[in-house]
Amino acid sequence: MTTSLISCTSSDKSSSKQYPEKFANTELEYKSGFGDLMKIAKAYFTTERLNPTPTFELPVHAITTDQLRDEQQDVLYRLGHSTIAMKLDQQLILTDPVFSDRASPVQWAGPKRFHQPPISLDDLPHIDVVLISHDHYDHLDKTSIKTLADKVDLFLVPLKVGQLLKAWGVEQQKIIELNWWESHIHNDVQYVLTPTQHFSGRGLTDRDGTLWGSWVINGQQHKVFFSGDSGYFAGFKEIGEKYGPFDLTMIETGAYNTLWSDIHMFPEQSVQAHIDLKGKVMMPIHNSTFDLAMHDWNEPMQQALEISQQKGVSMVSPEIGQRVELSEPLPIKPWWNL
């Protein structure tokens, strides 16, 4: 099914633009009803797992304000789940910032963090760009956005996600919404919103009312890819052909299940997506912070490592908060099996 989207440029901020009421994927229409929810609920209650959450304290490297502000190299730090802090061309970029204790509309229930962030929201220095992939609670955190609003130059988001940010106190001039394949250049770094196979919605009545996507981040020295959430689809090859090769791909590898296999990848699909994208080094993300599926918490990383080795793919697996220099990735250390 072809996505019905308007044609616009990142510089066109006219309020007269007409967005579609609902967005859709390019290859399939993802639907889930009450029956699907019942199947998922039953699976959560009946599936037996050895390690749904860590049985030991996860290694977390504390990050300081000065460390991020003064960094001179192209580097990245995994802060947890899909939240990444990276420095490219001396620009500090933050992806899908989620710093709350729970990935949930409320903080008294829902998936709870396995570890604390390696740096607090208050200690983050000035941020040049925040990238948002879509509006789900484990990627778009209201509390984090409200706290970051005054210390961020620019929020780049998919179509209609900006309405949420504006309602949470982000100034309109700091928000740029993009359609798939649109790009924006900020301080000589190019950002392109690229397709994914997923869906959106934060409640019962707003399904697919905002767009979802992935990000190509093209600096002067390095080019990286941030997947957001996606099922495996032909779009990865198209992105690779248009924008690859990538020095590093940050690929969703976690929260998968056969019950929702259209919209989240299994580890072997994540590795194949990296290959399709023409990536040089793969970093699995979307794991090791929240319990969002029925697999053991450490299964995604272990399977990704084994499959990447079988496929001849270079993988990096930093501990939370550990510094990764893009020109010299870290050797593999299976910290999830301590």
pLDDT score of 3 more than 60: no
Q: What is the pLDDT of residue 33?
A: 61
Q: What is the pLDDT of residue 98?
A: 98
Q: What is the pLDDT of residue 73?
A: 97
Class of residue 13 by CB neighbours under 10 A (exposed 0-12, middle 13-18, buried 19+): middle
pLDDT score of 2 more than 80: no
pLDDT score of 13 more than 90: no
pLDDT band at 278 (very low <50, low <70, confident <90, very high): very high
Domain spans, the chain: 35-327
> CA gyration radius for the chain?
19
CB count within 10 Å of CB 140 equals 23
DSSP-derived 3-state class of residue 133: coil
Q: What is the pLDDT of residue 25?
A: 97
What confidence tens digit (pLDDT) does each residue in 124-147 have?
A: 999 999 999 999 999 999 999 999
pLDDT score of 211 more than 50: yes
CATH topology for the 35-327 domain? Metallo-beta-lactamase; Chain A (3.60.15)
Sequence-separated (6 or more) residues with CB below 8 Å from residue 88: 74, 189, 217, 219, 221, 222, 224
What confidence tens digit (pLDDT) does each residue in 312-331 have?
A: 999 999 999 999 999 998 89
Structure-block tokens of residue 148: 């970051």
Instruction: Tell me the pLDDT of the chain averaged across its residues.
Output: 92
What confidence tens digit (pLDDT) does each residue in 14-45 have?
A: 333 567 889 999 999 887 665 666 666 667 77
Q: What is the pLDDT of residue 39?
A: 67
Average pLDDT of span 259-272: 97
